Amino acid sequence: MSYSIKIVADASKKATRTTANLKLVIFKTSYRRVPKSLRRSVELKDWDKNKERLKSSSTQADVLNLYLNATEKKLYDQIYLWETNSVDWTPEQLVSILDSKSDKPQQTKAVTVVAFIDRQIDSFKTKERFKNGEKTTGSSNWENYQWLQNSLFEFTQFKFKKDFGIYTFKDITESFLRSYSVYIQEKGYKNNNKGGLKHKLTCLKAVFRLAQKEKVSGVDLSIFEVVKDEMKASKTTPRVLSEADFIRIRDFDRTKLSKKECFHLDLFLFSYYSGGMANVDVCYLNKSCFKDNYIEYVRRKCDKVANPIFLPQIHDIIDRYKDKTYGSYVLPIFNERQQSETQKHSKVERTTLSVNKTLAKISLQLEMTKKVTWYYSRGTFISRAIDGGLNVYEVADQAGNSPRIIEKHYYKPDRSEIRNKMILAL
């Protein structure tokens, strides 16, 4: 028995020929079609009849299309629940759940994988924490789950011509994971990267663990054995500047840069001298983190404490911009226009892009082969500190990482220095 849910723009009235009211049309074999007004109107020129959504150029698209997606998903989830329980439902019954306040949403969520991914997204978006003297809401981890969800919808549509919104945990099998893994790897190969496969699989497994904890039927964590190799951390090449290249960037002729570009260069140098502080931590750094001769802050990415030494170079950069800062922030990144976490997050992203653009300009003028980014400050600090005589535990304390992570992801030995030492030793 077949069924369908369509969203149509109804412009039957002559007086409203340029606009249309949106309505659902529910069809099921052997039953009459049932319409349902959504109490939303759109400009006909903005409506894509084939996609049953507003065109992306419409100012309403972002909000209204999300609403339509959610409404459609709710109905399909309910149909799936009825079908798996052999309930002979009618189009009228399906329409009625949109008017009912007791349509058992928790029961619907419990059977679909996407519902648990949504919960992870919401959880990280609304997570409240107190870090470095201020209350923050949200964690960037929600983006990982959003990317996972988007890729799963694309994959099931491409591979099986099905909406991922109806998939339950028992539908995610070893065969599904193998196919999904190959799909992501092929996409990554075309884009000259790995497609973020490890992170996507890790997030999906976390979703399975959450469902298992809540005793959802059909959850089988053993299926991830078939992709265990893909989930292993691959060997990374630390992004590190040689001592000579770092000095060339540090001492670059600032008369060739604008005031903003000089500030971008100082942000990069501040990161380096403060233990390889990450870009987001530099932006959010609060004066309450200052101690007598060191800085103590909690990293936003992993909740680890870092304690970089308060070097003279840090003092110099802070003094340079102390009259331009806002509130209790150390550097002039945020101002009165950034009040919400979303606004601050966007400002961090824009600042990072600007810093990377300035570093690219400097690298080009210095004829450097590397595409230097803000991220290079961390690996460069760690490698130079260890090569300079600090042990890995001392460096880990300043960078806010474990020694194992330091050695695995950030430290790159200076081969020329090792060669000179070996020549002297041998």
List of domains in the chain: 3-103 (no CATH), 130-231 (no CATH), 243-425 (1.10.443.10)
- For residues 409-418, average pLDDT: 64
Name the token pair of 394.
Answer: 């001392």
When mean pLDDT is compared across 173-177, 210-214, 232-236, 252-256, the lowest value belongs to 232-236
pLDDT above 50 (res 105): no
Q: Summarize the confidence of residues 66-95 as an average pLDDT.
A: 84
Work out the angle between the directed axes of helices 113-126 and 197-213 (0-180°, nearest 10): 100
pLDDT of the residue at 137:
67
Residue 110's pLDDT band (boundaries 50, 70, 90)?
A: very low
Q: Quote the percentage of the chain above a pLDDT of 90.
A: 47
pLDDT at 100 over 60: no
Best-predicted range by mean pLDDT among 85-99, 263-277, 377-391?
263-277
Burial class (CB in 10 A: 0-12, 13-18, 19+), 34: middle
Q: Supply the Cα-derived Rg of the chain in whole angstroms.
A: 27
DSSP H helices in 138-285: 141-160, 174-190, 197-213, 228-231, 243-250, 259-273, 279-284
Burial of residue 260 (CB within 10 Å: 0-12, 13-18, 19+) is: exposed
Confidence tier at 416 by pLDDT (50, 70, 90)? low
The pLDDT value recorded for residue 284 is 93
Q: Which two tokens mark 380? A: 């460069």
The pLDDT of residue 334? 95
CB atoms within 10 A of CB 398: 21
Q: What pLDDT does residue 208 have? A: 96
Q: Indicate whether 108 pLDDT > 50.
A: no
For 278-303, what is each residue's pLDDT tens digit? 999 999 999 999 998 999 999 988 77
Mean predicted lDDT score pLDDT of the chain: 86
Q: With H, G, I as helix, E, B as strand and everything else as coil, classify residue 45.
A: helix
Does pLDDT of 63 surpass 60?
A: yes
Q: Cα dihedral sign for 406, 391, 308, 266?
A: negative
Using pLDDT thresholds of 50, 70 and 90, give the confidence band for residue 356. Answer: very high
Q: Provide the pLDDT for residue 194.
A: 85
User: Is residue 166 scored above 70 in pLDDT?
Assistant: yes
Q: What pLDDT sits at residue 1?
A: 56
Per-residue confidence band for 3, with pLDDT thresholds at 50, 70 and 90: confident
pLDDT at site 235: 62
For the record, the structure tokens of 6 come out as: 């369509």
pLDDT of residue 253: 97
Higher pLDDT, 54 or 101: 54
Q: How confident is the model at residue 157 (pLDDT cuts 50, 70, 90)?
A: very high
Is a pLDDT exceeding 90 seen at residue 57? Answer: no
Helices (H), 50-96: 61-84, 91-96
Between CA 285 and CA 328 the distance in angstroms is: 9
pLDDT of residue 103: 41
pLDDT tens string 178-217: 999 999 999 988 888 888 999 999 999 999 999 999 888 8
Which whole number is the average pLDDT over 33-39?
87
| Nearest residue to 3 via CA among 33, 24, 37, 23 | 33
With contact defined as beta carbons under 8 Å apart, do 44 and 9 qualify? yes
Q: Could you tell me which of 128, 138, 62 has the C-alpha nearest to residue 348?
A: 138
Q: Average pLDDT in the 64-74 region?
A: 88
**Residue 101 confidence (pLDDT) above 70:** no
**Which pLDDT value is given to residue 131?**
66
* Burial of residue 138, with CB atoms counted within 10 A of its CB: 0-12 exposed, 13-18 middle, 19 or more buried: middle
Instruction: Summarize the confidence of residues 117-144 as an average pLDDT.
Output: 77
| Residue 80 falls in which region: left (phi positive, over 0), alpha (psi -120 to 50) or beta | alpha
Percent of the chain with pLDDT over 70: 87
